Structure 1
Amino acid sequence: MNKIVSMNEALEHVKDGMTVIIGGFLGTGNPHKIIDALLEKGVKDLTIIANDTAFPEVGIGKLIVNKRVKKAIVSHIGTNPETGNQMNAGELEVDLVPQGTLIEQIRAGGAGLGGFLTPTGIGTVVEEGKRKIEVDGKEYLLEKPLKADVALIFGSIVDKKGNIFFNKATRNFNKFGATAAEVVIVEAEKIVEVGEIDPNVVEVPGLFVDYIVRGDE
C-alpha cells in the first residue's frame, strides 16, 4: 500500500464533528500544513485533544480563531486569549486536564488500557465527577483513556512505510498521539526511502501510520 497521498486525499478522512488528536506543544510539532488545509476545506465542530491551543495565529490556534472547534481537551489555554474568550462566551467547551494526566490518557488509549490511577488532582476541581479508588491507604483518581477518530501529527523524517523520526522537541504529543486514533495522518517534513532512518531512532513504527502527506511542498 502506498501511504503517500495528496493533502486532499488525506483530509477526506477528517469530517465535521470528529474527535481529532493534534500533536504539538505551543505550535512546535503542530502539523501546520494539515491545519491550514483543514481551514481551507471548512471542517467544523471538531473535538480536539491536544496539549494546548497554541497562539491565535499559529497552528491549532487558527482552528480556534476561525471557530472550527466545539470542544478542546487540553492542558492549558493561556497563550491563546481567543480560547478563553470563546469559553467564557459559551461558544467553546474547554476541558482542562493536568498535562501529565492528559498525555497518560492518550497513552492509555493507544495501549488499549481501561484507565489508570493517579493522585494528581485529589482535593481540587479536577476530581469532580471522577471515581476515587484507595490503594494501600492512599486515594487515587481513576482517569479514563482518550482516543480519537483521527490523529494529525508531524514527523521530521518519515520513510515510505510511515516510520517516524522526530527532531528534538517536536516529538512532544506527536509520539503518543499517533497510537490513539483509528486513522493516523502524518505531515512529513522530509520523506525518505525505507531503510534510510536508523531503526534505533524510529519513535513511531510505520504500522501506526495510515497516510503520509508532504510537508515540504
Structure 2
Amino acid sequence: MRRSRVIDEEAALDFIRDGMTISIGGHLNSAHPMLLIRGIIRRGLKDLTIITSAQGGPEIGFLIAAGCVKKLITSGVHAEGMAGIDPCFRFALQRGDIEIWEADEGIVYAMLRAAAQGLPFLPWHGGVGTSIPEVNPFLKEFDDPISGKPLLAVPAIAPDLAILHAATSDMYGNVQHVHGWGDRAHYRAAKETIVQVEKVISNEDVRRDPSKTSIIGADAIVRAPFGAHPMASPEYYLEDQPFIKTYVSCANAAYKKDDMSELTAFIDEYFVQPQDHFEYLEKIGVSRLFSLHEF
C-alpha cells in the first residue's frame, strides 16, 4: 500500500548530517528551500558540499556566513537582483575559506545527468577553449572518437540529498512545480529528495492533470507555506527585497571592516533564534508577508 510521505520540519532535517553532499534547487527569482536552509544553520551542520545547477542565490551566502559549507559546486552565486555576486560567496573565495569546484551551468547539469544515468561521466562541449579545465582538474579534455573535435569529460557527482521548494504535492510525493524545470535534474541525480511545498493537495487533484507533475514520488514532503521566504515562490509571492538588501549590506560591511558582528547578529536573529518555520514567520510578520503576496 502507498504511504504518506508528508513529514514535519524536524523529521526532514534528520535526513541531513555533517559532511553530506547536498543539492539545492531553485534559480533567480524562483523558489529556494529556505525552511530547510534555516534548519541546517540552526542545527549547526558543518562540512557540507553544496551543489547548485543554475547560479545559487542568497541561501548559499547564508550557509557560508554560518560556517556550514566546506565545498561548493556551482556556476556562481548571486543575491537575487540585489547583488550580481553574493558578498559572502565572493569574500569566502578570496580568503580561501571554502573550496570551489569551478564550472559553468551546462557543466553542472552534465554532472547531474551523468549521475542520474549511472554513468562515470558525460561528454560536454561547453568550456572547451576556456580556462575552466585549467582551474578544475576534475574536468578532462579528450578528442571525440567520431568527429575528432575536443570535448570535456564531466564526472558524475551524485548528491546524497536534494532539497527543493515547489508549489504543491500530494501526500504520496507527486510534486507540481511552477517554473521548476531545473529542480528535476537535482531529483534525478540525488539518492534521496526532500521537497517543501506551499500546500499539500489531494491525489485526485494530481491525477486530474498529470502533465503538471514534475517529480514522481519524492522521498519526503514538508508543508511549508511561505517556505521560500525571503526568495520568491512563483504565483504565490515575490522576493522580500528589503530583507535581502539588509543581508547584502551586513555581509559587505562584515568583510570590508573585518568585523563579523553585524552579520553574525543578522544570521542569529533570523536563522538561529526561531526554533521552527512558524516562529520565523511570526518574526517576519503577517503584514510583511502578505505585502509580497501575488494576489
- When the two structures are superposed, what TM-score results if normalisation uses the length of structure 2? 0.67
Higher relative contact order (CA 8 A, sep 6+): 1
Shift of 1:37: 1.4
Q: Distance in 2 between matches of 1:157 and 1:108?
A: 28
Specify the SS of the correspondent of 2:50: strand
Does 2:162 match 1:161?
A: no
Q: Does 2:194 correspond to 1:185? A: yes
The Cα offsets for residues 176-212 of structure 1, whole Å up to 9 and x where unpaired, read as 1111112211101111111312111111111xx1111
C-alpha contact (below 8 Å) 1:107/1:176 kept by paired residues: yes
Partner amino acid for 1:214? R
Identity %: 30
Question: Do structure 1's residue 19 and structure 2's residue 30 form an aligned pair?
Answer: no
1:196 corresponds to: 205
For the pair 1:213 / 2:245, whether they are aligned, the reply is no
Question: Residue in 2 aligned with 1:114?
Answer: 120
Give distance in 2, aligned partners of 1:52 and 1:122. Answer: 20
Matched residue type, 1:133: D
- Any idea what SS the aligned residue of 1:64 has? helix
The one-letter amino acid of 1:33's match is L
Letter paired with 2:223: R
- The one-letter amino acid paired with 1:212 is I
- Do the aligned partners of 1:20 and 1:152 also contact (CA within 8 Å) in 2? yes
Q: What does 1:1-217 correspond to in 2, within 5 Å? A: 1-26=3-28, 28-50=30-52, 51-55=54-58, 59-77=59-77, 78-128=84-134, 129=137, 130-134=140-144, 135-168=146-179, 171-197=180-206, 198-206=209-217, 209-216=218-225
Shift of 1:96: 2.3
> TM-score, with normalisation over the residues of structure 1?
0.90
Secondary structure at 2:31 match in 1: coil
The alignment's C-alpha RMSD in Å is: 1.6
- The count of aligned residue pairs is 210
Distance 2:157 2:129 in 1: 23
Q: Could you tell which deviates more after superposition, 38-47 or 117-126?
A: 117-126
Q: Aligned AA for 2:72?
A: A
1:27, distance to aligned residue in structure 2 (A) = 6.0
Q: Structure 2 CA distance, aligned partners of 1:172 and 1:85? A: 30
Q: Following the alignment from structure 1 to structure 2, what is the Cα–Cα distance between the partners of residues 32 and 161? A: 22
| Structure in which a larger fraction of residues adopt helix | 2
Q: Deviations over 1:118-175 (max 9, x none)?
A: 221112222233141323121111111221111101111111111111113xx14312
Distance 1:201 1:113 in 2: 29
Amino acid at match of 1:95: W
Larger proportion of strand: 1
Please give the secondary structure, in 2, of the residue aligned with 1:196.
Answer: helix
- Residue range with higher mean Cα deviation, 72-81 or 3-12: 72-81
**Do the aligned partners of residues 148 and 213 (structure 1) sit closer, same or farther apart at CA in structure 2, a change above 3 Å counting?**
same
Whole-Å separation in 2 of the counterparts to 1:190 and 1:113: 35
Larger radius of gyration: 2
**How far apart, CA to CA, are the structure 2 residues paired with 1:104 and 1:20?**
17
**Kept after mapping to 2: 8 A contact 1:29/1:172:** no
CA distance, structure 1, for counterparts of residue 110 and residue 212 of structure 2: 22
Give 5+ residue unaligned stretches, structure 1. none
- In 1, the alpha carbon distance for the partners of 2:46 and 2:30 equals 23
